[in-house]
Amino acid sequence: MPPTAPPCATFHRRPAESMTPRAPRLEYHTDATTALSDEVLAIVRLSTPVCASPSDVLTVDVGLEPVQGAVPAAVWRASGPVTRGRSGMIRYAHDAGFLFGVIEAHEVAYGDIRRTARTVYGAIDEFQRASGFPHLIRMWNFLDALNDGAGDFERYRQFCVGRAEGFGESVRNGYPAATAIGRQRSSGVLQVFWIAAKAPGRAIENPRQVSAYRYPRVHGPVSPGFSRATILQDGTLLISGTASIVGHVSKHPNDARAQLAETLRNLDALTCHAREHGAIPSEQAECLLTVYVRRPVDLALISTDAREAFPSAQLMFVGADICRRELLVEIECVVQAQR
């Protein structure tokens, strides 16, 4: 057992190099009364807005289903003054070390999800190369009707094809951590947002899982381009959407509770592995989770079990579709230094 954190853990965890820009910090907000200063990179509202955001702050509205009353807004707080701008299809905000970007594309304008993804990822790649924040560390993808279509023509699989076609230089040195999730209400929009950095992060894989970029052909014509997590230089750990997949196989079809337990084992294996590569010990960390739940009927048991597994974490639950039809739950997580 590692020793417990000293009371002055925050002091000990200051970056050794004062030149290293501090990573953005994630906060969950359920009301608008919390002061949202200028120093916010972006606000992500996964569901119906419960948190008003100042009009000048970069805000993303995703359009997922609320499942437990108010769904908190995710606020990515910057570590200094923020510059905001627009470049073609892309809205962005950055501080000294990190950039948050957003792109939203209507599928009708490009014909289908594959072409839309190719266009969006091509635009991101081009923007990234010129932006001064060349390292993609975390990406989120939201699209409609994720599991519609048969076999290789399932929309998620076609999205993976287009993503791979559009991605160029930006992923040459490793894939970012990612989430890909389906909206249950249609919007016609492929929405991608991401965090990029001046300094590289470290991509890590899960010892219990085949790397997604090495999934065998049975899961689609092109393997999904993402890593299981990224570790930032200050030890912050950004964990990709994680589900009940062991090796490359989905486990416990039709059993949400068993899928959750398997997902928790995956998260545990990943965080243990990440610690060996510089991620901050969980005793000194604050953990924020987003739990995507496909069926409202599963919510009660999933939220009970998840809260029991993470008694001191902040959890947010939202209704959404997941990349494989048989999967009923997916969890993403940020592990960052305590204040």
Residues involved in catalysis: 330
For ligand 3EB, give the closer residue by CB, 178 or 285.
178
Q: Which stretch binds ligand 3EB (CB under 6 A): 54-62, 112-120, 176-184, 186-194?
A: 176-184
Q: Which stretch binds ligand 3EB (CB under 6 A): 92-100, 113-121, 127-135, 240-248?
A: 240-248
String of contacts with ligand 3EB for each residue 102-141, x by CB under 6 A: ---------------------------------------x
Q: Which stretch binds ligand 3EB (CB under 6 A): 26-34, 77-85, 103-111, 237-245?
A: 237-245
Q: How far is the CB of 219 from ligand 3EB (least distance, A)?
A: 8
3-class SS letters over the chain: CCCCCCCCHHHHCCCCCCCCCCCCEEEEECCCCCCCCCCEEEEEECCCCCCCCCCCCCEEECCCEECCCCCCEEEEECCCCCEEEEECCEEEEECCCEEEEEEEEEHHHCCCHHHHHHHHHHHHHHHHHHHCCCEEEEEEEEEECCCCCCHHHCHHHHHHHHHHHHCCHHHCCCCCEEEEEEECCCCCEEEEEEEEECCCCEEECCCCECCHHHCCHHHCCCCCCCECEEECCCCCEEEEEECCEEECEECCCCCHHHHHHHHHHHHHHHHHHHHCCCCCCHHHEEEEEEEEECCHHHHHHHHHHHHHHCCCCEEEEEECECCCCCCCEEEEEEEEECC
For ligand 3EB, give the closer residue by CB, 133 or 142.
142
116 in Cβ contact with 141 (< 8 Å): no
Distance CA 233, CA 295 (A): 37
Residue from 162, 241, 293, 331 that binds ligand 3EB (CB under 6 A)? 241
For ligand 3EB, give the closer residue by CB, 244 or 284.
244
Verify binding: residue 263, ligand 3EB, rule CB under 6 A: no
Q: How far is the CB of 291 from ligand 3EB (least distance, A)?
A: 13
Q: Which stretch binds ligand 3EB (CB under 6 A): 15-23, 74-82, 174-182, 309-317?
A: 174-182
For ligand 3EB, give the closer residue by CB, 5 or 260.
260
Verify binding: residue 260, ligand 3EB, rule CB under 6 A: no
Residue from 127, 133, 142, 226 that binds ligand 3EB (CB under 6 A)? 226
Verify binding: residue 238, ligand 3EB, rule CB under 6 A: no
Residue from 212, 239, 318, 334 that binds ligand 3EB (CB under 6 A)? 212
Verify binding: residue 323, ligand 3EB, rule CB under 6 A: yes
Verify binding: residue 245, ligand 3EB, rule CB under 6 A: yes
From the list 72, 69, 71, 137, the residue with the least C-alpha distance to 101 is 137
Q: Give exposure, 104-130, as e/b (b: 16+ Cβ within 10 Å).
A: bbebeebebbbbbbbbbbebbbbbbee
Verify binding: residue 170, ligand 3EB, rule CB under 6 A: no
Residue from 64, 102, 105, 243 that binds ligand 3EB (CB under 6 A)? 243
From the list 141, 105, 128, 145, the residue with the least C-alpha distance to 224 is 141
For ligand 3EB, give the closer residue by CB, 36 or 137.
137
Residue from 224, 230, 263, 316 that binds ligand 3EB (CB under 6 A)? 224
Where do contacts with ligand 3EB occur on this chain (CB under 6 A)? 141, 178-180, 212, 224, 226, 240-241, 243, 245, 323
